[in-house]
Amino acid sequence: MHKWILTWILPILLYRSYFYIIFLMGTISLACNDMTPEQMATNVNCSSPERHTRSYDYMEGGDVRVRRLFCRTQWYMRIDKRGKVKGTREANNNYSILEIRTVAVGIVAIKGVESDYFLAMNKSGRLYGKKVCNEDCNFIELIEENHYNTYASAKWTHKGKEMFITLNHKGVPMKGKKTKKEHRASHFLPLAIS
């Protein structure tokens, strides 16, 4: 399928009725297979509530999870009230409660419930908190073989390599270009809130 078709067909899919989507289900899977993460992210408008109820919500069967992300380096991901992203050791810290929202197949936006900031990664691979969600806030969520999840920027890569959300052994996010899928710092368990 040609790329130019995707740029107009996706917005239509996102905003039209369920029937339309069922009708075009086959086309969607084709379209998504053809798309790079960048293209996926470009077509995602994560501030539009309608999109969630009208499209992928339906396909995924519910798309918001409230979790803590516990890194394999033993830190909980936390976004403080000023939007600073850093780990905490405290299991009950309010700022580590995160809303993980599916915004497209395999792509999530992660928001601190208490701080109201989204996790975002800029082009330089810097992890920061963002008040208004844009493409920097879209991450590809993958369950790895060890049952940990990884989160790679859906928008930015460095020399063709993915850049991951990490917390190093000091609980600090690493520069995206230094991250690897294999690093313990990239491995997160999404823990249900008790």
Ligand X SMILES: *[C@@H]1O[C@H](CO)[C@@H](O)[C@H](O)[C@H]1NC(C)=O
- Measured between its terminal Cα atoms, the distance across the chain in Å is 46
Binding of residue 53 to ligand X (CB under 6 A):
no
Binding of residue 45 to ligand X (CB under 6 A):
yes
Q: Work out how close the CB of 171 gets to ligand X at its nearest, in angstroms, rounded to a whole number.
A: 17
Q: Work out how close the CB of 102 gets to ligand X at its nearest, in angstroms, rounded to a whole number.
A: 17
Sign of the C-alpha dihedral, residues 41, 45, 47, 53? Answer: negative
- Options 7, 17, 48, 53; binder of ligand X; rule CB under 6 A: 48
Strands 149-158 and 161-164: antiparallel
- Options 86, 122, 142, 178; binder of ligand X; rule CB under 6 A: 122
Binding of residue 184 to ligand X (CB under 6 A):
no
Q: Work out how close the CB of 147 gets to ligand X at its nearest, in angstroms, rounded to a whole number.
A: 29
Binding of residue 123 to ligand X (CB under 6 A):
yes
CA distance 42 to 20: 22
Burial level of 142, CB count in 10 A (0-12/13-18/19+)? middle
Q: Measured from the CB atom, is 155 or 187 closer to ligand X?
A: 155
**Is-contact 110 137, C-beta < 8 A?**
yes
Residues 6+ apart with CB under 8 A from 69: 76, 77, 96, 98, 110, 149, 188, 189, 190, 191
Q: Measured from the CB atom, is 49 or 61 closer to ligand X?
A: 49
Q: Work out how close the CB of 94 gets to ligand X at its nearest, in angstroms, rounded to a whole number.
A: 4
Binding of residue 124 to ligand X (CB under 6 A):
yes
Q: Kindly list the residues in this chain that would bind ligand X in the complex (CB under 6 A).
A: 45, 47-48, 94, 122-124, 126
